[in-house]
Structure 1
């Protein structure tokens, strides 16, 4: 049972990374507009995040230090600062969207405007980070997010034409142009390989005090948690393709995203999906807030982490509080949290090489890793992914401009 519960770090990371507020709507939107023709992007993203998360977990277990703690040391202060600024800006946008997403879930449950809930969500997130143990936090919200499996059950109940879904895998709709298709492909890849995921995962490994003896647990987190997140993403897209695509309905709200669960499973499905959405977005709020504190504290060499008393890591906790306040203020301007996340996915795609190149370099450095450096296959696959991420990084902004953000 202890080993099973240990896997919840990967589940929390996967739920927060694959199935946050923007991804919930984006996958439903992509399913409604493109059917299952972009499912291959989710698979590419799952393989990529598994590859680099395994490296970052191995780095944490072998060196006892998280990835970002080594970035400045390995790449120098200037490159490290560039990485920090890009990562923090994307983290901040994502955190704002997650707070808004949790508030939107509460609006669905109560009918009270989401803006009323925003300050409360941020306050409770801060209290959880301040008072709740890391292991308890990851297990509660990681496992609660599994309620989103309701989408897979709802898909079965909707009785889709499985042959048609299979045909869509290789046949994009003729009504959608190539630039829009590739724009959403990049957005989905950015969603699957969001930069904060590896920072949170490796820092979480240090919080859990992983050592070389825990490499098996670290890999179990990766190879169970992240594919599970990918499976949920595909189920959401398939629900959109089944319910909305045949009728030409576009998805642009959280309520529409939840509709397949309600149609397939009735009131029980609706309750389950609202609970799952809240758990996933609130878990992602904790994850992104912690990632902001981790990256800044590790760059400047401050004491950090929930494994030490708050008074001994005061600057780390002050960073978390200030970041939560800024993100809350951003959402209270009434900016659409779903749009914020969709834009953050594109900016994440731009920053992907900055995030994953240091991971690849450190995982190959015998001074840090000893005999646990990458093997030939990991290096070959890592190099291929770096080429892909560079292409994605260059193409992301031009496609966003050309398609008016997918319109």
Structure 2
């Protein structure tokens, strides 16, 4: 019994680390850096809003899995029908594929910083590395190693205090549009931050992992521990990155437009050791997110089509699932091979995540209130209260994202 409890505690702890790594992917890192350098901390309020939103979304998804044993896209097809569910699938695959492209580009950019070799040459290495890990590594090892190394990103919290931020910086926490920015640009980046925090692939991966690990009612406490501890810690990391760039760049009106620029204050405050920690953390976070997004493409299509699926299943038992993953990795690498800027891909991916978010959030909210699936674990009044509030937030963000992107030239 003692050994069994030890295994459960270890599993829960590593699940928390995975949540941290999943929250701080390349989209969050880049967006937090850009926002901090341009807006200071005047948009910091969006991060806790996004954290509460992803906690709500992930907890409902995990509870649906634990109670019904059904994966996200199985339920979406069943509840929405094959036609509407198919449109949902196409939109979700497009956004997840774009996010996968951004993550592969992020890996290439980190490897460029380490080696000095152009990121274009690292793209096939990044794509092959992600594919071979998915092909050969165990599911648990893949989760836990990237999640543990992703903790290195917490070096930004140390750097923030080493930079000795002025007391006046606390005044920026009050939401306000800076004098040199426009209202549409301010809200464009608010939606980008929100989209970075609530990317749909996180929930696809989280819920599908629950099916693979055969969650039941006994696992609800462990699932909630992962959600309620992991995502807030990831949010603190996001605020730390924003704070570092706000202290280092915002007073000089210098915008962070690359990962190398993000490393400058890290090097200034903590030297090469801090830079090493930051690079390892970013590489782990982007690699973990690339693995999760690649798996999510296979999960979504296989669950909708009724194919055999699972990261723990060998290719001979789930051939179409693994082929789907390989095809999406190749497509992502081909897009990057055209010379497109990975940072630009990242910025667009978080905005389109906000656009597509209602397509998965609404069905999960509906199913979480259905006793046929949930039994006595349906949403309570408090969960539904916040669930409906966030449904409104998600719908407004989705409707406003594209018009604001056009009006502001993608925040330029």
What is the 5 A alignment of 1:102-121? 102-121=107-126
**SS across alignment from 1:222:** helix
Aligned counterparts of 1:262 and 1:5: Cα–Cα separation in 2: 35
CA contact (8 A) 1:147 1:276 kept: yes
Q: Which residue of structure 2 aligns with residue 204 of structure 1?
A: 209
Number of the residue aligned with 1:133 = 138
**Which residue, out of 86, 98, 121, partners 1:93?**
98
Instruction: Return the alpha-carbon distance in structure 2 between the equivalents of residues 10 and 40 of structure 1.
Output: 23
Cα distance in 1 for residues equivalent to 2:409 and 2:74: 37
1:21 lines up with 2:20 in the alignment: no
**What corresponds to 1:224 in structure 2?**
229
Deviation at 1:173, TM superposition (A): 1.6
Q: 5 Å matches for 1:325-344?
A: 325-344=330-349
Matches within 5 A, 1:186-197: 186-197=191-202
Q: Could you tell me which residue of structure 2 aligns to residue 299 of structure 1?
A: 304
Contact kept, 8 Å, 1:134 with 1:207, in 2: the verdict is no
Within the alignment, does 1:70 sit opposite 2:70 as a pair?
no
Over aligned residue pairs, what C-alpha RMSD do you find? 1.2
Contact 1:24–1:257 under 8 Å retained in 2: no
Tell me, yes or no, if the aligned pair for 2:195 and 2:353 is still in contact at 8 Å: yes
Alignment of 1:306-321 (within 5 A): 306-321=311-326
Q: Indicate if the aligned counterparts of 1:11 and 1:229 stay in contact, CA closer than 8 A.
A: no
- The CA deviation at 1:401 is 0.7
Following TM superposition, by how much is the alpha carbon of 1:101 offset from its aligned partner in structure 2, in angstroms?
0.5
Q: CA deviation at 1:83?
A: 1.1
Question: Which one of the candidate residues 373, 376, 381 is aligned to 1:371?
Answer: 376
Contact 2:101–2:332 (8 Å) recurs in 1: yes
1:171-190 counterparts in 2 under 5 A?
Answer: 171-190=176-195
Q: Decide whether aligned partners of structure 1 residues 9 and 328 sit closer, same or farther in structure 2, where only a CA change above 3 A counts.
A: farther
Q: What is the deviation of 1:13?
A: 4.0
What residue ranges of structure 2 are gaps of 5+ in the alignment?
Answer: 1-5
Pairing 1:123-162 to 2, within 5 Å after superposition: 123-161=128-166
CA distance in 2, matches of 1:393, 1:22: 17
Q: CA offset at residue 351 of structure 1?
A: 1.1
Rounded Cα–Cα distance in structure 2 between residues aligned with 1:14 and 1:89: 24
Question: CA–CA distance in 2 between the matches of 1:124 and 1:395?
Answer: 37
TM-score relative to the length of structure 2: 0.96
- The residue aligned with 2:247 is 242
Per-residue deviation, 1:229: 1.2
Tell me what 1:286 maps to: 291
Q: What is the count of residue pairs matched by the alignment?
A: 405
1:6 aligns with 2:12: yes
Decide whether the 8 Å contact of 1:22 with 1:339 is kept in 2.
no
Q: Distance in 2 between matches of 1:323 and 1:124?
A: 14
2:127 to 98, 122, 127: 122
Q: 1:34 aligns with which of 39, 60, 74?
A: 39
